[in-house]
Amino acid sequence: MKNRHKQAVFSGLLLLLFIAVSHDAVSRGRRPRFTRTPVIYKNPNPSVPLAAIIEFSTDTPVRVTLLAGDDVSNRRLASWRSYTTEHSLQVLGLRAGMTSRFTIDVTDALGNTAQWTSLEFTTEALPSDFPAINATVTDLARMEPGVTLFDPIKLGGVSYGLIVAVNEHGDVIWYYRSDESISDARRMRNGNLLLLGVTGAVEIDMLGTVLQEWHPTGHGNLGDGIGTPV
């Protein structure tokens, strides 16, 4: 009787082990699925016109890599390390006046991958009053990775503010337009920008959303009630 009991227990353990191994094998071989079709739309904030947003959902938590190609090059735009099922991605680094084709690569925690390729987006051309930017010398071998961010100054234009980002070839790939002159711009540790203008300082994200404002007490409150007197 004891031997039969041991055999039954042993058989049960083998069955549980088989089920666990089978489930793990199935999980490892099962690709993530897009449960909400990826869509791309223009950044709703007109102050940053060369940006877009991609949204989609997956049936299992995944991390994302976004690839882009246009008439000039194919490149990796960005990667997101966190695993989630709901995705809203800032699309930055697009050249003006071009159609870009996007590939979305997703990977779950077990290494299973899936891909979406049928997305396109066309950016607007630079406005007619945009300053001409000509890169006369570029030495890619000596460049640091990333982009160059600067603030062109329009003489006498206190109601004209501009922050520009260019790639290694001098192509404009992002800009922020303001109705107030901008005298300085700094990238913050959290990825946002700190801008210094005529009436105070402002923190914006890369889509142009105003997050915080600071102003001299004598200027009173600014914007939507988020200004802080200093």
Per-residue pLDDT reduced to its tens digit, 148-202: 998 887 765 567 889 999 998 899 999 999 988 888 899 999 999 999 988 889 9
pLDDT in the model for residue 27: 52
Please count the other Cβ atoms lying within 10 Å of the Cβ belonging to residue 119.
20
Please count the other Cβ atoms lying within 10 Å of the Cβ belonging to residue 214.
17
pLDDT in the model for residue 146: 83
Residue 223 · residue 210 · CB < 8 Å: yes
Q: What CATH code would you report for 34-122?
A: 2.60.40.10
Residue 202 · residue 210 · CB < 8 Å: yes
pLDDT band at residue 19 using 50, 70 and 90 as cut-offs:
very low
Helix (H, G, I), strand (E, B) or coil at 77: strand
Partnered with residue 112 across adjacent β-strands are none
Instruction: Tell me the domain boundaries of the chain.
Output: 34-122, 146-229
Count Cβ atoms within 10 A of the Cβ of residue 52 and give its class: 0-12 exposed, 13-18 middle, 19 or more buried: buried
pLDDT in the model for residue 48: 97
Looking at this protein, which amino acid is placed at residue 104? I
Using only C-alpha atoms, the chain has a radius of gyration, in whole angstroms, of: 25
